[in-house]
Structure 1
Amino acid sequence: MADQNFPLTGFGSLAIHGGHEQDPQYAHLTPIFATSTFVYDSAEQGMRRFSGEEKGYIYTRWGNPTMTEAADKIAAMESFGLTDGSGNPLAIKGYLQASGMAAISALFMSTLKTGDKILSHYSLYGGSQELMDKLLPDFGISAVIVDLRDLNKAEEALKADPAIKMIYLETPANPTLQCVDIEALTKLGKQYGKIIACDNTFATPYLQQPFRFGVDFVIHSTTKFLNGHGTSIGGAFLGRDIEFMNTWGGKVHKMLGGNSNPFDAFLLVNGMKTLEVRMERHCHNAMEVAGFFEGHAAVSKVNYTGLPNHPDHYIAAKQMRHPGAMLSIELKGGLQAGINMMNRLRMCTRTVSLGTCDTLMCHPASMTHYSVPKEKREQYGITDGLIRISVGMENIQDIIADINQAL
């Protein structure tokens, strides 16, 4: 086991060693603590555990060593190299969730109440959009959607509606890859006393650290790049207010019951150890694929912030280490062209989700964003001819050859 006091200077080292505590049996790798509950040496110890006087595990829905390591590793990566206002290493508290949607639910339910509003932007993950449109209104919580790439519109919305309590960001956004300025929006939001939350799933903490820019909360679907192998569903709910996360935030996490489980946490821990090297290959391939699409006669538009002509190129470059592994394209032939391309794929995988080692392609209008009304999809830039691609780690020549023959 690495000395926890040894100063790790590289993200890759942190991804491997961060968050790990040696178990009593000295296992090399993190064990799967497959137990629903934990025992006590005495009735008094149980009392101390429940009262919070003594640290320790009680019930796996409340916490489990395997789940703790996964959450602590994500928190360590999101805060790597960051400091607080006093110059000390930034402390982040995280909880491992059953899915990304469970993480979003824990975020909203712990911070919002009846009458509150969320300010967000176009082109969000379909599940997030549906939650805001169809579920939260039943609890008296609604969303205000504007183009947050325009700071003037963002401020107009804040001035016009004091009921807005949270600014919710997803950048790069799904599936148009729109990017918003985290730093500028956080600064603006704080001027008006708002909570700032950011979905960092597409970027991962290797490419982008929203806490660097002062956001209050970060959420992840760990199912994606963090796991990296498509073997488990999971999410993470992280906050910089340690007292809140240890009290009400943690209480809501426990009460909603959207916790992860030891086996999925075990898979996640092992997947995250290779995050840096995987993302380097993903990103290299994505840049090559974007360049190929840009010059193809069948493609009318390429949504990839690594291309200088993308409207959000400079925002992405300011806050991300690399433009990332996700891109989308619009085909000139519309829906039928998309169907034809998808059906002709021979190596790339036809499926939803993202972040696995293989290249994944999907048609958002009929898949991930099917529940979003057509008029809203088109307003957000999700056309019938849009194809979303999670560029994998295969040989780049093979990826491009398959896409080329499919087109």
Structure 2
Amino acid sequence: MANKEFPFTGFTSLAIHAGHEQDPNYAHLTPIYASSTFVYDTAEQGMRRFSKQEEGYIYSRWGNPTFTEAEKKLAAMECFGITDATGKPLVAKALLHASGMAAISSLFLSNLKAGDQILSHYSLYGGTQETMDKVLPGLGIEAVIVDLRDLNKAEEALKAHPKIKMVYLETPANPTLQCVDIEALTTLAGKYGKLVACDNTFATPYLQQPFRYGVDFIVHSTTKFLNGHGTAIGGVLIGRDIEFMTTRAEKTMQLLGGNSNPFDAFLLVNGMRTLEVRMERHCHNAIEIANYLEGHPAVAKVNFTGLPSHPDFYLTTKQMRHPGAIMSIELKGGLEAGKQMMNRLLLCTRTVSLGTCDTLLCHPASMTHYGVPKEQREKYGITDGLIRMSIGMENVQDILIDLEQSLKGL
């Protein structure tokens, strides 16, 4: 086991070893601590733990050793190679949640109150969009949606809406792969004294580190590439303000009951250990497939940030290590062609979600964005015939063969 003070020079070394503490029974890997509660030697010790005078576990809704390794590993990956204003290595606090939406809920409810506004952009994940449309208004919190790829529009919104407290980014966005300039928007938000949060699910910390550009909070659906195998649902909220994260954010999570569980945390820890090598294969396959699809006669458009034809291609090269492994396509035959393609698949998997080892295809209009009104979806570029693809780790030639036979004659 690497000493926790070891100066990691590589991402995979960090992903394997960061956050691990030697188990009292000397297990190689942190065990699944399947215990709802924890005991104390004395009443006085229990008092010290409840008052936070002594570190230790109380109840698994409040924390669990298996959660702790996942949290420390996630924070270390998002901070890897980044220094703070004093030149010291950046330190952040992570809170593991039951899902990405639970993490987003903790983010919103720990930072926003009635009368506040949140500024965001088009083409967000459907669950996030519905939360802004259907949950936050009932709490007196209003979402202001503009095209944040236009910095002039972003500044106009900040000037026109002084009650905006947070700028919420998702880049690349789901499922159109639109990207926004994290650095430019964080600088602009700082000018007006606003918080910035970024959903980094599609990119993962290996491909993109929003803390490098000064954001305050990062959220992930750990269900996706971080777990990597489709075995567990989870989410994480990571923040730079340690005091806020250990007080208000942590208390919000505990009271809402959005904590993870030991089994899913264990699966996440083991998935993250291979993140770099998996992402390299995912990204290699994605570039070959995007080039193939862009030239296919049945395909009207390919949304993939690794193609020079994508409007955010150069921005992607600025803030991401690789373009990622998610793309979406629009077929010339529209909805019916999309149904036929999906029904013909032999190797690729028809399902929602993303980031697993196998290639996944879904139809956002009837799946992930079903709850978003058609007019609103199309405004965001999510047409009835859009197909989202999460490129897996299969041999790329096999993926191409399946796509070719499924698109034939459309």
Taking structure 2 as the reference length, the TM-score comes to 0.99
How many angstroms apart in 2 are the aligned matches of 1:404 and 1:141? 47
Q: Does 1:89 align with 2:105?
A: no
How many angstroms apart in 1 are the aligned matches of 2:30 and 2:179? 36
How many angstroms apart in 2 are the aligned matches of 1:262 and 1:402? 38
Identity of aligned residues (%): 76
Output the amino acid matched with 2:248: W
How many angstroms apart in 1 are the aligned matches of 2:270 and 2:26? 17
1:271 corresponds to: 271
Aligned ranges for residues 271-350 of structure 1 at < 5 Å? 271-350=271-350
**How many angstroms does 1:250 deviate by?**
1.0
Aligned ranges for residues 56-71 of structure 1 at < 5 Å? 56-71=56-71
**How many angstroms does 1:328 deviate by?**
0.3
How many angstroms apart in 1 are the aligned matches of 2:125 and 2:195? 20
How many angstroms apart in 2 are the aligned matches of 1:80 and 1:71? 14
How many angstroms apart in 2 are the aligned matches of 1:51 and 1:164? 35
Output the amino acid matched with 1:213: Y
1:173 corresponds to: 173
Output the amino acid matched with 2:193: G
Per-residue CA distance 1:125-163 (angstroms, 9 max, x = gap): 000000000111000011111100000000000000101
Q: Does 1:151 align with 2:145?
A: no
Q: Does 1:51 align with 2:54?
A: no
Q: Does 1:32 align with 2:32?
A: yes
Task: Specify the SS of the correspondent of 2:110.
Answer: helix
Output the amino acid matched with 1:162: P
Task: Specify the SS of the correspondent of 1:143.
Answer: strand
**How many angstroms does 1:340 deviate by?**
0.4
Aligned ranges for residues 2-401 of structure 1 at < 5 Å? 2-401=2-401
**How many angstroms does 1:41 deviate by?**
0.7
**How many angstroms does 1:6 deviate by?**
1.5
Output the amino acid matched with 1:77: M
**How many angstroms does 1:259 deviate by?**
0.1
**How many angstroms does 1:309 deviate by?**
1.4
**How many angstroms does 1:246 deviate by?**
1.0
How many angstroms apart in 2 are the aligned matches of 1:249 and 1:385? 40
Task: Specify the SS of the correspondent of 1:268.
Answer: helix
**How many angstroms does 1:23 deviate by?**
1.1
**How many angstroms does 1:2 deviate by?**
1.1
How many angstroms apart in 2 are the aligned matches of 1:5 and 1:209? 22
How many angstroms apart in 2 are the aligned matches of 1:378 and 1:332? 16
Output the amino acid matched with 2:218: V
How many angstroms apart in 2 are the aligned matches of 1:45 and 1:193? 42
Task: Specify the SS of the correspondent of 2:90.
Answer: coil
Structure 1 regions of 5+ residues with no counterpart? none
How many angstroms apart in 2 are the aligned matches of 1:5 and 1:120? 39
How many angstroms apart in 2 are the aligned matches of 1:36 and 1:366? 38
**How many angstroms does 1:16 deviate by?**
0.5
How many angstroms apart in 2 are the aligned matches of 1:318 and 1:180? 11
Per-residue CA distance 1:53-90 (angstroms, 9 max, x = gap): 00100110000000111011000000001110000010
Per-residue CA distance 1:310-360 (angstroms, 9 max, x = gap): 100011110000000000001011000100000000000000000000000
**How many angstroms does 1:263 deviate by?**
0.4
Output the amino acid matched with 1:41: D
How many angstroms apart in 2 are the aligned matches of 1:246 and 1:270? 25
How many angstroms apart in 1 are the aligned matches of 2:78 and 2:302? 29
Per-residue CA distance 1:5-58 (angstroms, 9 max, x = gap): 221100011110011111111100110000001001111100100111001001
Task: Specify the SS of the correspondent of 1:63.
Answer: coil
Output the amino acid matched with 1:231: T
How many angstroms apart in 1 are the aligned matches of 2:316 and 2:5? 34
Taking structure 1 as the reference length, the TM-score comes to 1.00
Task: Specify the SS of the correspondent of 1:324.
Answer: coil
Q: CA RMSD in A?
A: 0.5
Per-residue CA distance 1:92-127 (angstroms, 9 max, x = gap): 000000000000000000000001111100100000
Task: Specify the SS of the correspondent of 1:198.
Answer: strand
Task: Specify the SS of the correspondent of 2:83.
Answer: coil
Mean Cα displacement is larger for which, 173-182 or 5-14?
A: 5-14
**How many angstroms does 1:251 deviate by?**
0.9
How many angstroms apart in 2 are the aligned matches of 1:124 and 1:155? 20
Task: Specify the SS of the correspondent of 1:133.
Answer: helix
How many angstroms apart in 1 are the aligned matches of 2:7 and 2:189? 34
How many angstroms apart in 2 are the aligned matches of 1:50 and 1:253? 17
Structure 2 regions of 5+ residues with no counterpart? none
**How many angstroms does 1:183 deviate by?**
0.2
